[in-house]
Amino acid sequence: MTRQLSQNYWPNFVAGTFRHGGAGKFGVRDPSNGNTLAEQALADAVDINHAVSEARRVYETGALTNLHPGERGAMLRKVGQFLEDNFDAVRETITLEQGKPLFEASKEVRFAVAIFDYFGSMAQSLEGRSVPGDASRFDFTVYEPFGVSAQIMPAHYPVYILSRTLAVALAAGNSCVMKTSELAPISATWLARAVESAGFPAGAVSIFCADREAGAALASHSDINHLVFVGTKEAAAAVLANAANNYLPNIVEVGGTSPTLFFEDGSIDAFLPEARLGLYLNAGQFCCAMYRVIVHESRYEEVVGRSVELAESLKVGPGIESDGEDFQPY
């Protein structure tokens, strides 16, 4: 099975328009063979300043926050519907640039669709509360958006993880400025197209690829109000250092070291299917993967031996050659 991307050059989405990058462009490679898939625009600090400025304008004018929550919710559901309508193209883009098999990319797209549907419905449920007082007082709380949410995203789920942060922020009325990974930036274009198709105000969302230097400019920008980062702990430390002077509320996810315990009376036949899923889903690139197996010493040799057999039984090859919906090895 040989498939190619639908275009050879992919621009950034900045302040409501698709445009070239101030830092030029670079080749995105197919991880299955090292060949160049397409060229991607690369943003610079000027592009980021423009994206943040427009996001600030949208927030301060109320173009997004003053909408009825039901209207924001409807637009979020339209984003999910756009991904559903372009299901095959989105999943093939994910597989070609990130490398996962088509059946895994299919699940990623469906999870993203579900995220936009869920938070589209939740947009109308973001309510404050009243607090009992005496006859002369009426106390209440009102939830307000942060403002401009800067989001620095990883490559291992180039649509789902981006959808997870984007949908939540938009449901609450935040503007979003999102930097994608240089390893898998193209898939995010489908999110940009979905946002444009759904009718969000121009400038409410910018999605672009940028290098670390430009990413640092985003994290330290004085006009952002909130920061989301998903990636390695080393990169997280650098991002948080850049953001420190602004005292930003932030959400940082750097993965885990999820342990699995195999006791003396454990069933090896029950363990192996879980190990296959826990170790090899997305080539082990997910936050709750089975990174460690702690085995009772009496079962150690057996578990190691059967685990080696499992690893040697797996088929390795270009993800695009998997049999899509009918291929279910896990």
- Are residues 223 and 103 located together in one domain of the fold? yes
* HEC profile of the chain: CCCCCCCCEECEEECCEEECECCEEEEEECCCCCCEEEEEECECHHHHHHHHHHHHHHHHHCCCCCCCHHHHHHHHHHHHHHHHHCHHHHHHHHHHHHCCCHHHHHHHHHHHHHHHHHHHHHHHHCCCEEECCCCCCCEEECCCCCCEEEEECCCCCCCHHHHHHHHHHHHCCCEEEEEECCCCCCCHHHHHHHHHHHCCCCCCEEEEEECHHHHHHHHCCCCCCEEEEECCHHHHHHHHHHHHHHCCCEEEECCCCCEEEECCCCCHHHHHHHHHHHHHHHHHCCCCCCCEEEECHHHHHHHHHHHHHHHHHCCCCCHHHCCHHHCCCC
pLDDT tens for 130-173 read 888 888 888 888 889 999 999 999 999 999 999 999 999 999 99
- Are residues 15 and 53 located together in one domain of the fold? yes
Average pLDDT rounded to a whole number, residues 96-120? 95
- Are residues 100 and 206 located together in one domain of the fold? yes
Q: Residue 53 above 90 pLDDT?
A: yes
- Are residues 168 and 283 located together in one domain of the fold? no
**Residue 112 φ/ψ, nearest 5 degrees:** -65, -45
Catalytic site residue from 253, 301, 321, 325: 253
Q: Residue 33 above 80 pLDDT?
A: yes
Q: Residue 40 above 60 pLDDT?
A: yes
Q: Residue 325 above 60 pLDDT?
A: no
This prediction has a pTM of 0.90
Q: What does the pLDDT read at residue 289?
A: 84
- Are residues 226 and 280 located together in one domain of the fold? no
Residue 1 lies in a domain: no
Residue 279 lies in a domain: yes
The percent of residues in the chain predicted with pLDDT above 90, rounded, is: 67
Residue 3 lies in a domain: no
- Are residues 243 and 267 located together in one domain of the fold? no
Higher pLDDT, 323 or 240: 240
**Residue 194 φ/ψ, nearest 5 degrees:** -65, -45
Q: Residue 58 above 80 pLDDT?
A: yes
- Are residues 230 and 263 located together in one domain of the fold? no
Q: Indicate the residue among 253, 279, 299 that finishes a domain.
A: 253
Residue 164 lies in a domain: yes
User: Where in the sequence is the domain holding 289, given as residue range(s)?
Assistant: 259-326
Residue 292 lies in a domain: yes
- Are residues 203 and 72 located together in one domain of the fold? yes
Q: Indicate the residue among 197, 232, 253 that finishes a domain.
A: 253
Q: What does the pLDDT read at residue 217?
A: 87
- Are residues 248 and 205 located together in one domain of the fold? yes
Residue 81 lies in a domain: yes
- Are residues 244 and 271 located together in one domain of the fold? no
Catalytic site residue from 127, 287, 297, 321: 287
110, two tokens: 């469906």
Per-chain mean pLDDT for the chain: 91
C-beta separation of 177 from 203 below 8 A: no
C-beta separation of 248 from 60 below 8 A: no
Is 176 annotated as catalytic? no
Q: What CATH number does the domain containing 73 carry?
A: 3.40.605.10
Q: Indicate the residue among 238, 253, 268 that finishes a domain.
A: 253
- Are residues 247 and 270 located together in one domain of the fold? no
Higher pLDDT, 277 or 180: 180
Residue 191 lies in a domain: yes
Confidence bin at 115 (pLDDT 50/70/90):
very high
Q: What does the pLDDT read at residue 4?
A: 78
Average pLDDT rounded to a whole number, residues 275-289? 85
Q: Please, what is the angle between helix 160-171 and helix 188-198, to 10°? A: 30
Q: Residue 330 above 50 pLDDT?
A: no
The percent of residues in the chain predicted with pLDDT above 70, rounded, is: 97
> What residues have CB less than 8 Å from 62, skipping those under 6 apart?
none
Confidence bin at 323 (pLDDT 50/70/90):
low
Q: What does the pLDDT read at residue 326?
A: 46
- Are residues 19 and 150 located together in one domain of the fold? yes
In the chain, the number of structural domains is: 2
Q: What does the pLDDT read at residue 303?
A: 96
Residue 2 lies in a domain: no
Is 253 annotated as catalytic? yes
